[in-house]
Chain A
């Protein structure tokens, strides 16, 4: 809501080490067939259908050439009630053994792909599912899939050779923009995020880029704050990353400004209110206007017009009202959304949990 705008620079500081990347920050790429995931989590497609799949336990990203697995299904994706139960049956187990970790739509076939973990602990197994326009669920046989892989480096330990490094990194979101894959991650120790970018193909990768995110809190305090989810979006012709992070605001910063040695100050364009943790975001058009659709953990889905993203004033003073900055509306008809992606020009596809705890795959007209 405009009246709640507070002026100037709530800023995000992005520190880059684009060149002179220290050894610990270097990445390693590998190629082969039959990708060996420890876990399979976030998914993102490139425009030509390369599927990037994050292995959160290995802190690695696989780029998958799906080959035959990408073809042959009915175009599109169809809603499937009790999706988790059907997936459990297909994989020969109980629904309590199933965790659906992400959902992404193939840019050409519009089939939906879901990443799933089956089982518990050391026996847990990854699975990649394809849902086609007839509602058929296929399991991608990894043995037929070519891949290249890039490892995200772990932070070093001060004492060499010890087993004391219990640090792990989780990959929370990925997006492919203009030939580079951007990856947001969270550590189980430091409360800060690494926003990395690597070029693709990985085998020509320039070791990736580590981007530390800081959050200038209302022009007064600087705090470390992890980016959790983000989406590429053009603001006045310039590609930006619109990032949701864990201090509740929504921030934009231009991708083009992420250059060697640059110190980029992003702009916070909205505070989303208490208990809002952004989980997933898409950008879509409707009626000649563009909107950001964002699922979060407590408020259902929020629809945010993007028209003012370019001109929105930054929030710089403490927000005492529940929300601040660019306005939004809550789409009350979309409840329990855990994953979402843009299915086509008119629809979004979501994984939504019912009040009874059942996970449904729904196709919902864009609000």
Chain B
């Protein structure tokens, strides 16, 4: 790259001239038009500079995309259709602003075919970005060593935002005999990332989790109690910079019997904090609960019934939940509030298993049902 002595600094990146047709003698300082990459703008443009006034004049009135493509074609390959953008004439130059920002590291083929003169061809590119992979899988939930046979979902956490494309093809499940489990997960083209694309949700195929329907009858559950399985996340999964992961991720876990019982808060152990402190309220569960829902569906309400702000920490194997308030506890009767969507690893909710045998319990309100678990701060 070098800086051209023009009014606005113009960066020329990878300037190549092909001896195409009769245009073999163009270049900087020759007084002939040159194709340059102008990276001096928030959105870099591809410019033809030092264009004679006669050529600019002849191009006045050029409007349609096709007409401009015949004059100045930018493409991702010599035999590829023209890339779409806008064209402007002025100050001795023609400016092509791509509709979408140019990719770093990609070569753009440019052909300027001025009226009445030989075409000029060039390849320009923005510098490639760092191509060293840096993103990795940081955790997969649940973290418990044993999961129920009817495990409902997995959360895969990444150290940095992932790319736009879903990753189910990069997630595999192998039985302890080394055979890959066929179609264990729900194949969808929907997005299951969180907002910043650092967590990806994988649902086990519900058709193989529920009783009495064809897939489970035919194929059985994806997981079988008593066996061990290894979850593998391929390193080829691309992150938000288009780079693969630093390494493959593996996690081996055991499978226990199916869990078809609803949650029962009466079995939770609550350790109340002391008044005047900001010590944590601690809750222990008899079984692991869903990590994502634990972060969202449990909270604390004051004696006056107001939700308290604070910090939540999920303990090992998702067996504990603790809440540290922003302000010190005052003595009084508080409640833990559990929203109805709180679930265990198999999708069972408070008072309602994933599968129930009647319709009458169906929620009638759009508002989440809440369960309150009382505790006293002294």
Show the binding face of A for B, using Cβ within 8 Å. 11, 13, 15, 17, 21-22, 24-25, 39, 41, 56-57, 86, 88-94, 97, 99, 117-125, 127, 139, 141, 155-162, 164-168, 170, 172, 186, 188-191, 210, 212, 214, 216-218, 220-225, 228, 246-249, 261, 263, 265, 271, 273-275, 277, 279, 297, 318-324, 338
> Are the C-beta atoms of A297 and B187 separated by less than 8 Å?
yes
Specify which of A11, A94, A97, A323 is in contact with B359 (CB 8 Å cutoff): A11
In the assembled complex, how far is the CB of residue A172 from the closest CB belonging to chain B, in whole angstroms? Answer: 5
> Are the C-beta atoms of B162 and A13 separated by less than 8 Å?
no
User: Can you sample 24 A-B contacts with CB below 8 Å?
Assistant: A11-B359, A15-B363, A22-B365, A25-B366, A56-B191, A89-B80, A119-B103, A120-B163, A120-B242, A121-B242, A155-B296, A157-B296, A157-B299, A164-B312, A172-B188, A190-B293, A224-B347, A228-B188, A247-B207, A263-B364, A319-B217, A320-B214, A321-B214, A338-B189
> Are the C-beta atoms of B213 and A188 separated by less than 8 Å?
no
Contacts of A22 in B (CB 8 A): 365-367
Apart from A121-B197, A159-B308, list 4 A-B contacts with CB within 8 A.
A57-B195, A188-B193, A218-B212, A248-B213
Query: In whole angstroms, what is the CA distance A15 to B298 when docked?
Result: 24
> Are the C-beta atoms of A217 and B355 separated by less than 8 Å?
yes
Query: In whole angstroms, what is the CA distance A150 to B193 when docked?
Result: 21
Interface centre among A24, A39, A89 (most CB of B within 10 A): A89
> Are the C-beta atoms of A246 and B99 separated by less than 8 Å?
no
> Are the C-beta atoms of B206 and A247 separated by less than 8 Å?
yes
> Are the C-beta atoms of B84 and A318 separated by less than 8 Å?
no
Contacts of A93 in B (CB 8 A): 76, 100, 103, 106
> Are the C-beta atoms of A212 and B355 separated by less than 8 Å?
no
> In B99-129, which residues have CB < 8 Å from any A CB?
99-103, 106, 108
Dominant SS among interface residues on chain A: loop
In the assembled complex, how far is the CB of residue B368 from the closest CB belonging to chain A, in whole angstroms? Answer: 7
> Are the C-beta atoms of B241 and A189 separated by less than 8 Å?
no
Contacts of A189 in B (CB 8 A): 201, 290, 292-293, 296, 341
In the A-B complex, the 4 residue pairs with the smallest Cβ-Cβ separation, listed nearest first, are A121-B240, A158-B299, A17-B366, A120-B163
Contacts of A17 in B (CB 8 A): 364-367
Show the binding face of B for A, using Cβ within 8 Å. 74-77, 80-85, 98-103, 106, 108, 152-153, 161-165, 183, 186-195, 197, 199, 201, 203, 206-207, 210-215, 217-219, 238-242, 290, 292-293, 295-300, 307-312, 323, 337-339, 341, 343, 347, 354-359, 361-368
> Are the C-beta atoms of B238 and A221 separated by less than 8 Å?
no
Query: In whole angstroms, what is the CA distance A309 to B93 when docked?
Result: 65
Given contacts A22-B365, A121-B164, A212-B363, A221 and B357 within 8 Å (CB-CB) = yes
Nearest A residue to B301 by beta-carbon distance? A158
In the assembled complex, how far is the CB of residue A138 from the closest CB belonging to chain B, in whole angstroms? Answer: 8
> Are the C-beta atoms of A94 and B76 separated by less than 8 Å?
yes
Given contacts A124-B164, A271-B214, A212 and B362 within 8 Å (CB-CB) = yes
Interface centre among A92, A117, A212 (most CB of B within 10 A): A92
> Are the C-beta atoms of A99 and B164 separated by less than 8 Å?
yes
Specify which of B83, B183, B323, B359 is in contact with A89 (CB 8 Å cutoff): B83
In the assembled complex, how far is the CB of residue A173 from the closest CB belonging to chain B, in whole angstroms? Answer: 10
Given contacts A11-B359, A220-B212, A165 and B366 within 8 Å (CB-CB) = no
> Are the C-beta atoms of B186 and A246 separated by less than 8 Å?
yes
Query: In whole angstroms, what is the CA distance A25 to B337 when docked?
Result: 19
Specify which of A117, A139, A165, A222 is in contact with B358 (CB 8 Å cutoff): A222
> Are the C-beta atoms of B165 and A222 separated by less than 8 Å?
no
> Are the C-beta atoms of B309 and A172 separated by less than 8 Å?
no
> Are the C-beta atoms of A91 and B207 separated by less than 8 Å?
no
Given contacts A166-B195, A247-B213, A118 and B100 within 8 Å (CB-CB) = yes
> Are the C-beta atoms of A248 and B207 separated by less than 8 Å?
yes
Specify which of A91, A119, A275, A277 is in contact with B83 (CB 8 Å cutoff): A91
> Are the C-beta atoms of A166 and B83 separated by less than 8 Å?
no
Query: In whole angstroms, what is the CA distance A323 to B290 when docked?
Result: 33
Given contacts A89-B83, A159-B307, A271-B213, A99 and B165 within 8 Å (CB-CB) = yes
Nearest B residue to A274 by beta-carbon distance? B215
> Are the C-beta atoms of A158 and B362 separated by less than 8 Å?
no
> Are the C-beta atoms of A168 and B193 separated by less than 8 Å?
yes
In the assembled complex, how far is the CB of residue B13 from the closest CB belonging to chain A, in whole angstroms? Answer: 15
Interface centre among B165, B219, B337 (most CB of A within 10 A): B165
Contacts of A125 in B (CB 8 A): 100-101
Nearest A residue to B85 by beta-carbon distance? A92
In the assembled complex, how far is the CB of residue A9 from the closest CB belonging to chain B, in whole angstroms? Answer: 10
> Are the C-beta atoms of B240 and A122 separated by less than 8 Å?
yes
Specify which of B153, B190, B213 is in contact with A217 (CB 8 Å cutoff): B213
Interface centre among B213, B292, B323 (most CB of A within 10 A): B213
> Are the C-beta atoms of B103 and A246 separated by less than 8 Å?
no
In the assembled complex, how far is the CB of residue A288 from the closest CB belonging to chain B, in whole angstroms? Answer: 33
Specify which of A91, A121, A166 is in contact with B241 (CB 8 Å cutoff): A121
> Are the C-beta atoms of B190 and A56 separated by less than 8 Å?
yes
Nearest A residue to B314 by beta-carbon distance? A164
Specify which of A156, A222, A225, A297 is in contact with B356 (CB 8 Å cutoff): A222
Specify which of A249, A275, A324 is in contact with B183 (CB 8 Å cutoff): A275
In the assembled complex, how far is the CB of residue A232 from the closest CB belonging to chain B, in whole angstroms? Answer: 21
Contacts of B298 in A (CB 8 A): 158-159
Query: In whole angstroms, what is the CA distance A160 to B338 when docked?
Result: 14
Query: In whole angstroms, what is the CA distance A218 to B347 when docked?
Result: 20
Query: In whole angstroms, what is the CA distance A185 to B185 when docked?
Result: 19
Specify which of A25, A249, A324 is in contact with B367 (CB 8 Å cutoff): A25
Specify which of A25, A168, A228, A297 is in contact with B195 (CB 8 Å cutoff): A168
> Are the C-beta atoms of B100 and A159 separated by less than 8 Å?
no
Given contacts A127-B100, A216-B359, A223 and B354 within 8 Å (CB-CB) = yes
Given contacts A88-B76, A139-B84, A164-B295, A120 and B362 within 8 Å (CB-CB) = no
